[in-house]
Structure 1
Amino acid sequence: MRVLPILFNTEMVRAILDGRKTVTRRVIKGLPDGTYDVKFNGEEWEALFGTVGKGACFDFYKELKLPCQTGDILYVRETWQECCRNTIHSQIVHNKYCFKASVDNPIYGCIDRECGQICNWKPSIHMPKEAARIWLKVTDVRVERLQDIDDEQAIKEGFEGERCHCGGTAYACTDCYNSGWIEPPFVGFMYTWNSTIKKADLDRYGWDANPWVWVIAFERCEKPEEEK
């Protein structure tokens, strides 16, 4: 078992805290040009790629390094700040830290009672391990193309969508095209996914690019004894 960090934005942290998010997808970077498949060969995940020349096809493979494995423990890095003793906000102060996902007005950080100074939020990438309040146990890791996600998986990603009043049973419903959804959960996932990708990388890793992704399933767990 390894203990590894994982970053989530504020919206996804709230989904985890609410029990709505039990899966996350992460881009597989560093795939060779010409990759046409990613498979598990019984021991490891590998990328299959090849070139065609003079009528012959030459296949190659590259072993992929998993971001985590089943049984690993992940501690969530989230937008945070170190609170002073006189903080006005009292919501979810974990040790000496406060978290953007758990305050009523996340625009500002905590405010010191005595001097009125606003403590700005700090990026999740800089959150120290000792501040972690959310611990996750990896239950499965697999690979698929991004657009393979369905509504069931999008719900597990934390997106609820908007259901139609017809429940998908009304014939020729004009509100939802007889699908039962006015906005399917995967649509929210799609827009959120693109919002997390740098503009320069959208052609490679955005929704339309349909990249290969790690699909990581997890469940909430207690902080490991060795980390206490």
Structure 2
Amino acid sequence: MKERGIIFNSEMVRAILDGRKTQTRRVMKVQPVLNGNWWEAYGAAWGKENKSVPVVPCHSLANNCPYGQVGDRLWVRETWQGPLVDSEKAYDLFKDPAPYQKVENCVYKADGGHAPEYIDFDDKFRQGWRPSIHMPRWASRVTLEITDVRVERLQEASDDDFKAEGYPLERELTGGSTDPFCWFRHLWNSISKPECNFESNPWVWVIEFKRV
């Protein structure tokens, strides 16, 4: 079993914590190329009509999946701040931060609070969040176990798949359509690069997971 970090924005972290998100789709950096009647990528090939392909252990696709294989784990990187301690512990923190590098000494943007205020190591007053890309393993509060991996065209997802991507609760929908397809298309286009938007229908890694 291997562990890898994976970034989610605050909206998706909330969906994971709520149990609404059990899938994630990520664009394949190497897009399959159509060669006659076969799609080809990473030394693997599948029929032109196949829009979804399981990624099985020891297969070349599995060996090249950047997110791992079934049974591997993903630790979630999210927007955060920490470690934060009370003023009477500040000196000890600055002297040796290691004992305070724990989840309970962190705050997370996904929880909906205001950006924290704190004194930094240079004794300067600060306010703000640290970006998810800089989150170390010790600060991650969410670990996921991969239960299935496949590659497929983005538009092949079903309504059930769209909902498993973190479809919001009815009370959280604000304006626009409540249709899962429209919701996911808007979500995808809001976070993807223009050349990989929903309409371009890229091949994606589909990672299904459960929280552990």
TM over 0.5: yes
Inter-CA distance 102–37: structure 2 relative to 1 (3 Å threshold) = farther
Q: 1:24 to 1:111 in 2, by over 3 A?
A: same
8 Å CA contact 1:137–1:218 kept in 2: the answer is yes
Q: What's the counterpart of residue 65 of structure 2?
A: 66
Match in the other structure for 2:208:
217
One-letter amino acid matched to 1:95: E
**Cα deviation 1:103-147 (Å, max 9, x = unaligned):** 333xxx21249x994431111111011111100000000111101
Q: TM-score, normalized by length of structure 2?
A: 0.72
| Residue 189 (structure 1) aligned with residue 184 (structure 2) | yes
The amino acid of 2:148's aligned partner reads D
Shift, 1:29, TM fit: 1.1
User: Does structure 1 residue 147 correspond to structure 2 residue 152?
Assistant: no
Could you tell me which runs of 5 or more consecutive residues in structure 2 were left unpaired when the two chains were aligned.
49-59, 88-101, 172-176
CA distance in 2, matches of 1:131, 1:38: 40
Counterparts in 2 of 1:13 and 1:38: CA distance versus 1, 3 Å: farther
Compare the two structures and name the one with the higher helix fraction. 2
- Number of residues of Structure 1 aligned to a counterpart in Structure 2: 177
Equivalent-residue separation in structure 2 for 1:101 and 1:217 (angstroms): 21
Q: Which residue does the alignment assign to 1:101?
A: 110
Would the aligned equivalents of 1:159 and 1:186 in 2 still touch at CA under 8 Å?
Answer: no
Contact kept, 8 Å, 1:161 with 1:186, in 2: the verdict is: no
Relative contact order, higher structure (CA 8 A, sep 6+): 2
Task: Kindly state the Cα deviation for residue 39 of structure 1 after the two structures are TM-superposed.
Answer: 7.9
Change over 3 Å in CA distance of 1:188–1:45 after alignment to 2:
farther
CA deviation string 1:61-111 (max 9, x = no partner): xx4411210000110000011143239xxxxx8232211001333xxx212
Following superposition, the deviation at residue 151 of structure 1 comes to 1.3
Unaligned runs of 5+ in 1: 51-62, 88-92, 164-181, 222-228
**Would the alpha carbon gap of residues 96 and 37 (structure 1) be closer, same or farther in structure 2, given more than 3 Å must change?**
farther
Q: How does 1:69-88 map to 2 (within 5 A)?
A: 69-86=69-86
Q: CA RMSD in A?
A: 3.3
* Contact 1:162/1:185 (<8 A) preserved: no
Do the aligned residues in 2 keep the contact of 1:70 with 1:138 (CA within 8 Å)? yes
Q: 2:166 aligns with which of 150, 158, 167?
A: 158
Q: TM-score, normalised by structure 1?
A: 0.67
SS at match of 2:117: coil
| 2:141 aligned with 1:133 | yes
Using the alignment, how far apart are the partners of 1:103 and 1:17 within structure 2?
Answer: 13
- Once structures 1 and 2 are overlaid, which stretch shifts more, 115-124 or 150-159? 115-124
Larger-Rg structure:
1
Q: Which residue of 1 aligns with 2:199?
A: 208
